[in-house]
Amino acid sequence: MVVAEYRTGDTAIRDLLTPITHPATATALAAERATLATLHGNCTTAASVHATLTSTTVTVDAAVYAPDGHTAIRTQATGAANQSDAVGRRAGEQLLRDGAAALLHALPHTP
């Protein structure tokens, strides 16, 4: 998989990348990124997110882990594939409702 990130509104780059975009992968990625964004996660966040796709649905399996690795809060959200952002946000919101914020705040922060 090759991932390219570019500025919102950069139509020249978007047009260049469109022919090589894999729609199913882009849909799964949107769900995964929405989950992490809801958690305010980044590359150092002790979380996992995996989205799978059928022809009409996306399922997000997500978890947040305690610093010791012994405690995890997990959830799963499923919804319409064309609403992958919303499904991802729903997974992140459920993790927060289930107590993930406490685990996230217990992690050491790096600059």
Per-residue pLDDT tens digits for 12-34? 998 999 899 889 999 999 999 99
Residues pairing with 49 in the sheet: 62
Do the Cβ atoms of 38 and 96 come closer than 8 Å? yes
What are 55-71's pLDDT values in tens digits? Answer: 999 999 999 998 888 89
Residues pairing with 80 in the sheet: 57
Query: Which two three-digit tokens encode residue 53?
Result: 């796709």
Query: Residue 109 is inside which H or E element, if any?
Result: none
The amino acid at residue 34 is A
Task: Indicate if the pLDDT at residue 79 is higher than 60.
Answer: yes
Please state, in angstroms and as integers, the Cα–Cα distance from residue 51 to each residue in 34, 47, 87, following that order: 11, 13, 10
Q: Which CATH class is domain 23-106?
A: alpha beta
In whole angstroms, give the CA distance from residue 83 to residue 26.
12
What are 44-55's pLDDT values in tens digits? Answer: 889 999 999 999
Domain boundaries, the chain: 23-106
Q: If you average pLDDT over every residue of the chain, what do you get?
A: 91
Model confidence, pTM: 0.85
In whole angstroms, give the CA distance from residue 94 to residue 99.
9
